[in-house]
């Protein structure tokens, strides 16, 4: 309902005598009506009769999910018994939820989304820290399962405890790598973190046990099952508790009023169940995993809860599928042909027991995964034939997988999007290894491309589901221009396809769609960074920005989107917990939740979830009744689980006799490499004068290290450039306090090598010795001349801390040509003037050259000169690193007559003007480098070093 309508109803409600559009009232206004009036609206819609009645609306202020000190009939009595959080009183239902935890009981708090469970958690933390005996230590771990939720909760904790003498810190995912986790935990009162960090810290001994904490809070605690990090932690906890090793437990034994565990969730409807008894057993199992004895729900203050929580109205839209779709039939034909080709090679039906697999289904995807898995273990006497067979079957099934994906996209989006997906895959295949099987499969696609393209452009073949989706969006935004929509879809590919559809649709383009997806794996380039998610959500909150978010499961739980009043589920159905959480994204008053599906079974499943939600609610009530057997069940389940774990440890233990394993290609089963040869690509960046801006790195942190050769020039700044691990080091220190002669090149290179760097891409300012190399030009140097006299040029110096032997490293090709080629191509693509090669002459410095020297250097064939390339490139070669240098000309040195002589001011001015260009090269080249295969290059570098060292004879 619009704000104007609400105001009018307040003013004129007593005079309403007729409802002209009952369906509109039902759809948009029943949230505000008393139950009796709702019935009248529905009756009038059904029989077309007129009726008159008064509509009353109650408005209540809401701020941060906390109650202000309203004047109530109960007066001082209510105030006296109301808990506070950050100076604001908890609502009565929030105080009720926190009650068991306040009393010292391990508790699962189960309450609807949007009711302020995090506020309840903050109040529990307040209570826990303030109510302690003298000499007791209190330490709290608050855990969130997803990085996006972690960021949100960490911010809330920082804000809440900003003015108090409570220290709060946060640790999350990859940003915690290299961080002294134990020290962070030891020196802070509250640690907000993702659970895997705590699991890792316990396994590696960074922290000895969970006993360091006095309170553990699990956000979205229904995830405590299987191998989830929550359950791994609780398994450690229970093994200690049931093994009578209480020193390893959170410090719950200090006092009757200390508690250890609190879980937060919108639903405990975990597992599969058909009736209340099954649901009760599942809930007891969750409680056993978490070692809780109380499920805290709102019982006494339900009316207050209902006044603050707006459950969206659920609607279902069934849409018929495309009938006789020729695009689908063409893909069917292609897939059938590929299956027949695969069967000529091997009876693939014998590799999997999955039957009745329909094209374009999840079951077909499962069949492909199963077949590929069986291929990895397929054994033939002829190993060469085995390898060839596995490669061919992998190619066939991989192409079948992509066609299956295209059918799914075509079913939910436009045919054009499905064809684009296949076209991209085909191009990727052509650009990669291209054997005979792949040539054949690619040719099949190309033979059918023209027909598929023609079908994708036929407007008469518009997807009925998109028509229905457009109708819903048109209606909702026509009735309320301020509508904010979250559209849930199953895959990232579909999210992108629907975004393109909205943007290309004239009547919907004004919605300015945003796509909200997960971060993806480290190897994936399609993930979404945290800053971009924050920017998107911020845009969603502003009226003139994005009005619709197209989201995958990343938005299911935890992310707060208060402006949303329309939740659209596009073939998006899960279990009970998912249904409750997704529905809860619609938190605004008068919200709707609409499922759009062409599958009746999906709609029936969602309706069954609604029924299961009621079963879970009743199961909780049963377990909360006095005299129930819940506590006994939990203890029995814990003992049984402990016995199973103990048995598995005894029977499944095995000893590895060799730390090095040979890995086989899962595609063709040929030997790939040994595990000790695997390296994670990491790129070191050494920034020269004015070219060491740390802002190019995301998620950066600093590490101060020492080496056998002393300290590096500055801290190592560790971070990422477009998901590629990088380490930045300022060659002269960040304040440029180290003159060229005193740069500790050995410590710099050693530190970067120890940090795991495989590449070094460096920047350096230089003087030009050639007319055509103008100030501001870039040179990707390929040779050097050494004029230094006071520098250590080898790690192998015979000292007690140096490597053994003498290293005579070859220097015919000092720079890595493969890395240089990337830099050259990137610079040219960016439109920068770049010289593809050049000889760098390095002088000792810190003075500049005399004119006689400068002219002599030109006669020697040098193109540019600086004070740092040597011995840096030599040491990088000894360290086996792929080294390349981006040299930026800042001046003409002093050889050129009638040209201003080189000076510091001019050098700095030119560097400042062109620093952004150098940064652009790095930001573009590094992701490109990360996608290349460096196995042979790194191996050859390592071999060169090994062959260059002469060891003493014994």
| β-sheet bridge partners, residue 3 | none
Q: Which residues of 441-475 are buried (b: 16+ CB within 10 A; e: fewer)?
A: bbebbeebeeebeebbeeeebebebbebbbebbee
- Per the annotation, does 892 bind a ligand? yes
Cβ–Cβ under 8 Å, residues 435 and 391 = yes
- Per the annotation, does 732 bind a ligand? yes
Output the DSSP codes for 394-417: HHHHHHHHHHHHHHHHHHHS-HHH
- Per the annotation, does 799 bind a ligand? no
Cβ–Cβ under 8 Å, residues 835 and 778 = yes
- Per the annotation, does 209 bind a ligand? no
C-alpha gyration radius of the chain? 33
Known catalytic residue at 893 = yes
The catalytic position among 782, 893, 905, 933 is 893
In 505-629, which residue ranges form alpha helices assigned H by DSSP?
Answer: 530-541, 576-583, 600-624
- Per the annotation, does 764 bind a ligand? yes
HSE-CB of 309 using CA atoms within 13 angstroms: 23
Structure tokens at 544: 């003139």
Cβ–Cβ under 8 Å, residues 667 and 729 = no
Residue 333, number of CB atoms within 10 A of its CB: 12
What gap in Å lies between CA 552 and CA 728, rounded to an integer? 34
List CB contacts of 879: < 8 A, sequence separation 6 or more.
Answer: 749, 750, 753, 795, 945
Task: State the Cα angle at 634 between 631 and 640, rounded to 5°.
Answer: 145
Residue 663, number of CB atoms within 10 A of its CB: 12
- Per the annotation, does 31 bind a ligand? no
- Per the annotation, does 163 bind a ligand? no
The catalytic position among 219, 676, 891, 905 is 891
- Per the annotation, does 893 bind a ligand? yes
Output the DSSP codes for 205-223: TSS--GGG-SEEEEETGGG
Known catalytic residue at 189 = no
What gap in Å lies between CA 448 and CA 334, rounded to an integer? 9
Sheet harboring 548-551: ordered strands across? 313-318, 592-597, 566-570, 485-488, 548-551, 514-516
- Per the annotation, does 222 bind a ligand? no
Residue 734, number of CB atoms within 10 A of its CB: 15
Structure tokens at 815: 């720079």
The residues annotated as belonging to the active site are: 891, 893
As annotated, the binding site for substrate includes 867, 891-893
As annotated, the binding site includes 689, 731-732, 764-765, 867-868, 891-893
As annotated, the binding site for phosphate includes 689, 731-732, 764-765, 868
């Amino acid at each position: 309902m619009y704000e104007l309508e609400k105001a009018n109803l307040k003013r004129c409600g007593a005079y309403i005598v007729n409802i002209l559009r009952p369906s509109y009232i039902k759809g948009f206004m029943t949230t505000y009506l008393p139950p009796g009036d709702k019935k009248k609206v529905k009756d009038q819609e059904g029989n077309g009769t007129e009726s008159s009645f008064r509509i009353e609306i109650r408005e209540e202020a809401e701020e941060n999910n906390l109650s202000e000190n309203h004047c109530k009939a109960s007066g001082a009595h209510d105030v006296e018994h109301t808990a506070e959080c950050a100076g604001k009183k908890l609502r009565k239902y929030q105080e009720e939820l926190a009650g068991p935890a306040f009393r010292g009981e391990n508790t699962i708090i189960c309450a609807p989304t949007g009711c302020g469970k995090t506020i309840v958690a903050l109040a529990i933390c307040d209570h826990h820290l303030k109510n302690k005996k003298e000499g007791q230590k209190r330490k709290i771990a608050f855990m969130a399962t997803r990085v996006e939720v972690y960021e949100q909760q960490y911010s809330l904790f920082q804000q809440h405890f900003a003015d108090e003498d409570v220290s709060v810190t946060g640790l999350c995912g990859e940003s915690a790598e290299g961080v002294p986790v134990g020290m962070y935990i030891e020196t802070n009162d509250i640690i907000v973190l993702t659970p895997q960090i705590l699991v890792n810290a316990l396994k590696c001994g960074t922290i000895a046990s969970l006993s360091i904490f006095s309170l553990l809070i699990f956000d979205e605690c229904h995830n405590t099952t299987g191998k989830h990090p929550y359950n791994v932690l609780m398994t450690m906890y229970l093994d200690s508790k049931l093994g009578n090793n209480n020193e390893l437990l959170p410090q719950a034994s200090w006092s009757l009023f200390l508690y250890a565990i609190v879980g937060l969730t919108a639903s405990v409807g975990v597992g599969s169940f058909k009736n209340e008894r099954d649901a009760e057993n599942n809930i007891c199992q969750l409680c056993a995993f978490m070692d809780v004895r109380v499920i805290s729900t709102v019982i006494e203050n339900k009316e207050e809860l209902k006044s603050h929580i707006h459950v969206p109205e659920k609607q279902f839209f069934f849409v018929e599928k495309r009938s006789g779709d020729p695009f689908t039939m063409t893909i069917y034909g292609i897939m059938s042909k590929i299956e027949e080709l695969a069967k000529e090679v091997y009876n693939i039906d014998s590799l999997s027991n999955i039957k009745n697999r329909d094209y374009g289904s999840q079951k077909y995807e499962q069949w492909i995964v199963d077949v590929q898995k069986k291929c990895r273990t397929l054994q033939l006497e002829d190993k060469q034939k085995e390898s060839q067979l596995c490669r061919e079957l992998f190619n066939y099934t991989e192409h079948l997988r992509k066609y299956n994906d295209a059918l799914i996209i075509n079913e939910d989006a436009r045919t054009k999007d499905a064809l684009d997906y296949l076209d991209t895959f085909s191009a990727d295949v052509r650009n990669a290894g291209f054997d005979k099987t792949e040539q054949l499969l690619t040719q099949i696609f190309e033979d059918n491309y023209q027909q598929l393209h023609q079908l994708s452009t036929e407007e008469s073949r518009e997807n009925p589901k998109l028509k229905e989706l457009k109708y819903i969006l048109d209606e909702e935004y026509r009735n309320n221009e301020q509508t904010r929509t979250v559209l849930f879809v199953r895959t990232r590919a579909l999210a992108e396809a629907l975004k393109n559809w909205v943007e290309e649709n004239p009547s919907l383009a004004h919605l300015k769609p945003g796509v909200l997806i997960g971060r993806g794996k480290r190897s994936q380039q399609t993930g979404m960074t945290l800053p971009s998610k924050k920017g998107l959500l911020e845009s969603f909150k502003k009226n003139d920005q994005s009005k619709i978010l197209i989201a995958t499961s990343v938005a299911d739980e935890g992310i707060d989107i208060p402006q949303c009043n329309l939740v659209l589920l596009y073939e998006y159905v899960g279990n009970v917990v998912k249904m409750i959480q997704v529905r809860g994204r619609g938190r605004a008053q008068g919200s709707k939740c609409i499922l759009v599906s062409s599958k009746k079974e999906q709609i029936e499943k969602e309706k069954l979830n609604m029924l299961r939600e009621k079963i879970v609610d009743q199961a909780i009530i049963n377990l909360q009744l006095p005299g129930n057997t819940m506590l006994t069940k939990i203890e029995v389940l814990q003992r049984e689980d402990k016995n199973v774990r103990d048995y598995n440890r005894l029977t499944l233990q095995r000893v590895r006799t060799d730390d090095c394993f040979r890995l086989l290609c899962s595609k063709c089963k040929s030997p790939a490499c040994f595990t000790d040869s695997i390296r994670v690509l990491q790129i070191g960046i050494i920034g020269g004068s004015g070219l060491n801006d740390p802002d190019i790195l995301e998620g950066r942190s600093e590490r101060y290290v020492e080496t056998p050769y002393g300290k590096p020039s500055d801290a190592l700044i560790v971070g990422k450039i477009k998901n590629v691990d990088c380490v930045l080091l300022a060659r002269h220190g960040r304040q440029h306090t180290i003159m060229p002669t005193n740069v500790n090149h050995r410590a710099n290179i050693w530190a970067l090598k120890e940090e795991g760097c495989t590449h070094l891409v460096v920047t350096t300012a230089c003087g030009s010795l050639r007319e055509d190399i103008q100030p501001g030009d870039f040179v990707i140097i390929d040779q050097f001349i050494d004029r230094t006299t006071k520098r250590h040029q080898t790690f192998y110096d015979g000292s007690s801390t140096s490597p053994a032997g003498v290293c005579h490293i070859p220097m015919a090709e000092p720079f890595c040509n493969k890395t240089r080629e990337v830099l050259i191509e990137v610079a040219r693509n960016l439109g920068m003037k770049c010289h593809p090669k050049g000889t760098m002459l390095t002088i000792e410095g810190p003075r500049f050259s005399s004119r006689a020297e400068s002219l002599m250097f030109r006669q020697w064939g040098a193109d540019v000169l600086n004070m740092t390339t040597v011995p840096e490139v030599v040491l990088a070669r000894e360290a086996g690193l792929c080294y390349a240098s981006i040299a930026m000309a800042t001046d003409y040195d002093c050889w050129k007559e009638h040209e201003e002589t080189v000076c510091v001011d001019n050098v700095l001015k030119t560097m400042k003007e062109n620093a952004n260009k150098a940064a652009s090269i790095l930001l573009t080249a590094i992701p490109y480098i990360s996608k290349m295969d460096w196995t042979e290059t790194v191996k050859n570098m390592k071999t060169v070093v090994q062959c260059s060292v002469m060891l003493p004879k014994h």
